[in-house]
Amino acid sequence: MSTARRKRPIACHHGPTNTYVLRTPIGDMDLETCPKGIHSLQQVQEIDDSTFKVDMSIEVSLKSQLYQDNGYVYKSVLMCIQWLNTYFHNKTEAPAQTRPNICFVHTKKGSFTEKVWRILADEISFARIVSYGQLATMCGNVNTARAVGHTLKMNPIQLIIPCHRVIRQTGQLGEYCGGRRNLVKKWLLNHEGVAVL
Ligand SMILES: [Zn+2]
Protein backbone atom coordinates (compact mmCIF):
# COMPACT_ATOMS: atom_id res chain seq x y z
CA MET A 1 0.00 0.00 0.00
CA SER A 2 1.34 3.42 -0.86
CA THR A 3 1.63 6.02 1.80
CA ALA A 4 -1.35 8.29 1.76
CA ARG A 5 -0.42 11.84 1.02
CA ARG A 6 -1.27 14.33 3.72
CA LYS A 7 -4.26 16.30 2.55
CA ARG A 8 -3.77 19.96 2.19
CA PRO A 9 -6.25 22.14 4.06
CA ILE A 10 -8.82 23.97 1.99
CA ALA A 11 -9.11 27.43 3.40
CA CYS A 12 -11.87 28.89 1.24
CA HIS A 13 -14.58 27.70 -1.13
CA HIS A 14 -12.54 28.62 -4.21
CA GLY A 15 -10.05 25.85 -3.49
CA PRO A 16 -6.80 25.10 -1.70
CA THR A 17 -4.56 27.91 -0.57
CA ASN A 18 -0.80 28.11 -0.88
CA THR A 19 1.62 30.25 1.06
CA TYR A 20 4.57 32.00 -0.55
CA VAL A 21 7.49 34.13 0.60
CA LEU A 22 8.40 37.09 -1.62
CA ARG A 23 11.65 39.05 -1.56
CA THR A 24 10.96 42.78 -1.68
CA PRO A 25 12.93 46.00 -1.12
CA ILE A 26 11.26 46.40 2.30
CA GLY A 27 12.09 42.86 3.41
CA ASP A 28 10.48 39.47 2.96
CA MET A 29 6.70 39.26 2.74
CA ASP A 30 4.36 36.33 3.41
CA LEU A 31 1.65 35.90 0.79
CA GLU A 32 -1.32 33.52 0.97
CA THR A 33 -3.59 32.99 -2.02
CA CYS A 34 -6.33 30.68 -3.24
CA PRO A 35 -7.15 30.09 -6.93
CA LYS A 36 -9.31 33.24 -6.96
CA GLY A 37 -7.01 35.77 -5.34
CA ILE A 38 -4.99 37.05 -2.43
CA HIS A 39 -5.99 36.22 1.13
CA SER A 40 -3.12 37.99 2.86
CA LEU A 41 0.13 39.85 2.24
CA GLN A 42 2.27 40.95 5.18
CA GLN A 43 5.86 41.74 5.93
CA VAL A 44 7.28 38.79 7.86
CA GLN A 45 6.67 38.85 11.58
CA GLU A 46 10.22 39.89 12.58
CA ILE A 47 10.01 43.23 10.78
CA ASP A 48 9.26 46.19 13.03
CA ASP A 49 10.68 49.69 13.52
CA SER A 50 13.91 48.34 15.04
CA THR A 51 14.63 45.83 12.26
CA PHE A 52 13.17 47.62 9.21
CA LYS A 53 15.68 47.97 6.36
CA VAL A 54 15.24 49.03 2.75
CA ASP A 55 17.25 47.81 -0.22
CA MET A 56 15.96 49.31 -3.46
CA SER A 57 18.31 47.16 -5.55
CA ILE A 58 16.03 44.17 -4.83
CA GLU A 59 13.60 43.17 -7.58
CA VAL A 60 10.48 41.56 -6.16
CA SER A 61 10.64 37.81 -6.70
CA LEU A 62 9.35 34.51 -5.40
CA LYS A 63 11.64 33.10 -2.72
CA SER A 64 9.76 29.98 -1.65
CA GLN A 65 6.35 28.31 -1.53
CA LEU A 66 4.89 26.01 1.10
CA TYR A 67 3.37 23.42 -1.26
CA GLN A 68 5.50 22.82 -4.33
CA ASP A 69 2.63 22.03 -6.77
CA ASN A 70 5.22 20.87 -9.32
CA GLY A 71 6.41 24.45 -9.54
CA TYR A 72 2.92 25.73 -10.40
CA VAL A 73 2.21 29.19 -9.03
CA TYR A 74 -1.25 30.76 -8.80
CA LYS A 75 -1.84 33.56 -11.29
CA SER A 76 -2.65 36.03 -8.53
CA VAL A 77 0.86 35.47 -7.12
CA LEU A 78 2.44 36.38 -10.45
CA MET A 79 0.14 39.42 -10.65
CA CYS A 80 1.14 40.37 -7.12
CA ILE A 81 4.86 40.14 -7.91
CA GLN A 82 4.43 42.30 -11.00
CA TRP A 83 2.28 44.78 -9.06
CA LEU A 84 4.88 45.07 -6.29
CA ASN A 85 7.71 45.57 -8.78
CA THR A 86 5.79 48.43 -10.36
CA TYR A 87 4.98 49.82 -6.91
CA PHE A 88 8.64 49.90 -5.86
CA HIS A 89 10.43 50.51 -9.16
CA ASN A 90 8.13 52.35 -11.56
CA LYS A 91 6.53 55.39 -9.97
CA THR A 92 5.22 56.61 -13.35
CA GLU A 93 3.04 53.56 -13.89
CA ALA A 94 2.27 52.72 -10.26
CA PRO A 95 -0.76 55.06 -9.86
CA ALA A 96 -2.72 53.53 -12.74
CA GLN A 97 -1.83 49.87 -12.42
CA THR A 98 -4.58 47.29 -11.94
CA ARG A 99 -4.48 45.61 -8.59
CA PRO A 100 -4.16 41.84 -8.24
CA ASN A 101 -7.34 39.92 -7.45
CA ILE A 102 -8.31 39.80 -3.79
CA CYS A 103 -10.34 37.05 -2.15
CA PHE A 104 -12.01 38.79 0.79
CA VAL A 105 -12.01 35.73 2.99
CA HIS A 106 -11.20 37.53 6.24
CA THR A 107 -14.48 39.38 6.43
CA LYS A 108 -18.17 38.78 5.78
CA LYS A 109 -19.44 39.48 2.29
CA GLY A 110 -21.22 42.83 2.23
CA SER A 111 -19.89 43.86 5.65
CA PHE A 112 -18.70 47.34 6.59
CA THR A 113 -15.15 46.00 6.85
CA GLU A 114 -15.24 44.66 3.30
CA LYS A 115 -16.55 48.02 2.09
CA VAL A 116 -13.70 49.92 3.78
CA TRP A 117 -11.07 47.56 2.36
CA ARG A 118 -12.56 47.65 -1.16
CA ILE A 119 -12.84 51.43 -1.29
CA LEU A 120 -9.26 51.78 -0.09
CA ALA A 121 -7.95 49.25 -2.61
CA ASP A 122 -9.95 50.64 -5.53
CA GLU A 123 -9.99 54.39 -4.94
CA ILE A 124 -7.01 55.48 -2.87
CA SER A 125 -4.27 55.01 -5.41
CA PHE A 126 -0.51 55.60 -5.26
CA ALA A 127 0.41 58.92 -3.59
CA ARG A 128 -3.15 59.75 -2.54
CA ILE A 129 -3.90 60.11 1.15
CA VAL A 130 -7.15 60.31 3.12
CA SER A 131 -8.01 60.89 6.75
CA TYR A 132 -10.00 58.39 8.79
CA GLY A 133 -12.96 60.81 8.61
CA GLN A 134 -12.76 61.23 4.82
CA LEU A 135 -12.64 57.48 4.37
CA ALA A 136 -15.66 57.12 6.67
CA THR A 137 -17.53 59.59 4.44
CA MET A 138 -16.51 57.65 1.32
CA CYS A 139 -17.95 54.55 3.00
CA GLY A 140 -21.26 56.34 3.38
CA ASN A 141 -21.24 57.45 7.02
CA VAL A 142 -19.21 60.35 8.33
CA ASN A 143 -19.67 59.13 11.90
CA THR A 144 -17.77 55.90 11.45
CA ALA A 145 -14.18 57.23 11.56
CA ARG A 146 -13.45 55.19 14.69
CA ALA A 147 -14.88 52.02 13.15
CA VAL A 148 -12.78 52.68 10.03
CA GLY A 149 -9.67 52.90 12.21
CA HIS A 150 -10.58 49.57 13.78
CA THR A 151 -11.00 47.79 10.44
CA LEU A 152 -7.65 49.12 9.22
CA LYS A 153 -5.91 47.52 12.19
CA MET A 154 -7.16 44.16 10.91
CA ASN A 155 -6.13 44.75 7.29
CA PRO A 156 -4.72 41.43 6.03
CA ILE A 157 -3.30 42.74 2.73
CA GLN A 158 -0.52 45.27 3.19
CA LEU A 159 0.15 47.76 0.33
CA ILE A 160 -2.61 46.47 -2.01
CA ILE A 161 -5.23 47.52 0.55
CA PRO A 162 -3.28 50.69 1.28
CA CYS A 163 -4.06 51.41 4.92
CA HIS A 164 -0.72 53.27 5.06
CA ARG A 165 -2.44 56.04 3.04
CA VAL A 166 -4.89 56.76 5.83
CA ILE A 167 -3.58 59.44 8.17
CA ARG A 168 -4.93 61.69 10.91
CA GLN A 169 -6.91 64.82 10.09
CA THR A 170 -4.10 66.85 11.69
CA GLY A 171 -1.65 65.53 9.08
CA GLN A 172 0.05 63.30 11.64
CA LEU A 173 0.89 59.86 10.53
CA GLY A 174 -1.18 57.70 12.86
CA GLU A 175 -0.07 54.21 13.75
CA TYR A 176 0.85 51.36 11.41
CA CYS A 177 0.52 47.75 12.45
CA GLY A 178 -0.54 48.78 15.96
CA GLY A 179 2.46 51.12 16.18
CA ARG A 180 5.05 48.40 15.47
CA ARG A 181 5.80 49.63 11.96
CA ASN A 182 5.38 53.40 11.99
CA LEU A 183 8.71 53.83 10.18
CA VAL A 184 7.42 51.56 7.42
CA LYS A 185 4.34 53.77 6.98
CA LYS A 186 6.51 56.88 6.84
CA TRP A 187 8.89 55.27 4.34
CA LEU A 188 6.03 54.11 2.08
CA LEU A 189 4.46 57.57 1.98
CA ASN A 190 7.82 59.22 1.32
CA HIS A 191 8.46 56.70 -1.44
CA GLU A 192 5.15 57.75 -3.02
CA GLY A 193 6.18 61.40 -2.76
CA VAL A 194 3.84 62.35 0.10
CA ALA A 195 5.36 64.66 2.70
CA VAL A 196 4.30 63.64 6.19
CA LEU A 197 4.77 65.17 9.63
ZN1 LIG B 1 -10.02 32.46 -1.34
DSSP annotation string for 29-88: EEEEE-SSSEEEEEE-TT-STTT----TTPPPEEEEESS-GGG---HHHHHHHHHHHHHH
pLDDT per residue as tens digits for the range 152-188 = 999 999 999 999 999 998 888 888 988 899 999 999 9
Residues 30, 42 contacting (CB under 8 angstroms): yes
Partners of 20 in beta bridges:
31, 65
Distance between Cα 104 and ligand 1 center (Å): 7
Distance between Cα 10 and ligand 1 center (Å): 9
Distance between Cα 35 and ligand 1 center (Å): 7
Q: What is the pTM of this model?
A: 0.92
pLDDT more than 70, % of the chain: 96
Q: Residue 1's pLDDT band (boundaries 50, 70, 90)?
A: very low
144/124 Cα distance (integer angstroms): 18
CA-to-CA dists, residue 197 to 2, 78, 194, angstroms: 63, 35, 10
Between 195 and 116, whose confidence is greater? 116
